[in-house]
Structure 1
Amino acid sequence: MNTYEKLQDEACKDGIEVVDYPFESERIKGLYCDGTIVIRDNIATTTEKACVLAEELGHHYTSVGNIIDMEYTGNRKQERQARLWGYNRSIGLFGLIRAYEHGCKDKYEIAEYLDVTEEFLENCIACYRDKYGILTIVDNYIIYFIPHLTIAELI
């Protein structure tokens, strides 16, 4: 079972319907509304579909009301929170550590190991950089976000 199928299964268990849909706008990859997630039907890879589904699940678990208009600060905050939920679900700090322990050397290898797109990984790192600053320490590891992602084991 691939990551997308696992997320679909998780959504189903929580009573969330996931539907493929041919959006006319190329800008829309997914939407969430009232217990239904709609995902662009022609997304090229299941990896990218999983990234979109993770974010839309984040909306289910963290968002309230109609947040489409990004002019409002509260809507932007909810959007960020939903994305952060998706990043934590699909990657997380422990995922970065697992990738390091697995021997991943660059963003491409980390993304492949975690079954996310490079763009999703880069956005996640930027979000973590905003949240944690230069670095964070998790268990026996230090994760640097500035100047670029670096993970080291503390001795």
Structure 2
Amino acid sequence: MNEIEKIMSSYPNLSLKYVDTPTGIRGLIVGDCIILDCKLSSNERLQWLYEEIGHYETTVGNITVNDSMSDRKQERKARIWGMKNRLPEIELQTFANKNVNDFEVADDLGVNVDYLREVGETYGFNAKNN
């Protein structure tokens, strides 16, 4: 069982589909169906799967227009939920005192550097840019 299958097994009432989504849309949840862009890398798929589950866990109502402060707050809340579940703080702390750069950490954790940095900022870590 791969990591996506393991995650989805914790949410048996949700289904997952990969489709060619419009530009700029990497994932969304419609009812009980998570839709991910089929062009995402395996690392990105995990990131966006967690964010869409974050919407399932935290979002109330339809926020697809994203034009109100409430919608933007719910979007951010789901994103943070996804980041914290994709990369728990303890995983980042294991690298805190090692002489490694962001690229090495991202590679070890199976994420993109930009995502690693965003998660790190969420936890209050400083980025190593070398």
TM-score by length of 1: 0.72
Identity %: 28
CA RMSD of aligned residues (A): 2.1
Runs of 4+ that moved beyond 6 A: none
Q: Distance in 2 between matches of 1:104 and 1:50?
A: 27
Match of 2:26 in 1: 29
Q: Distance in 1 between matches of 2:113 and 2:3?
A: 15
Match of 2:89 in 1: 93
Match of 1:75 in 2: 71
Question: Which one scores higher on RCO, CA 8 angstroms, separation ≥ 6?
Answer: 2
Equivalent in 111, 114, 117 of residue 106 of structure 2: 111
Match of 1:124 in 2: 119
- Opposite residue 7 of structure 2, the aligned amino acid is L
- Opposite residue 20 of structure 1, the aligned amino acid is Y
SS at match of 1:125: helix
Q: Distance in 2 between matches of 1:18 and 1:35?
A: 9
Instruction: Give 5+ residue unaligned stretches, structure 1.
Output: 130-144, 151-155
Match of 2:15 in 1: 17
Post-superposition offset of 1:84: 0.6
Aligned 8 A contact 1:111 1:121 in 2: yes
Match of 1:3 in 2: 3
1:48-100 Cα shifts (integer Å, max 9, x gaps): 11111011110010101111122200011101110110111011211111334
Aligned 8 A contact 1:17 1:36 in 2: yes
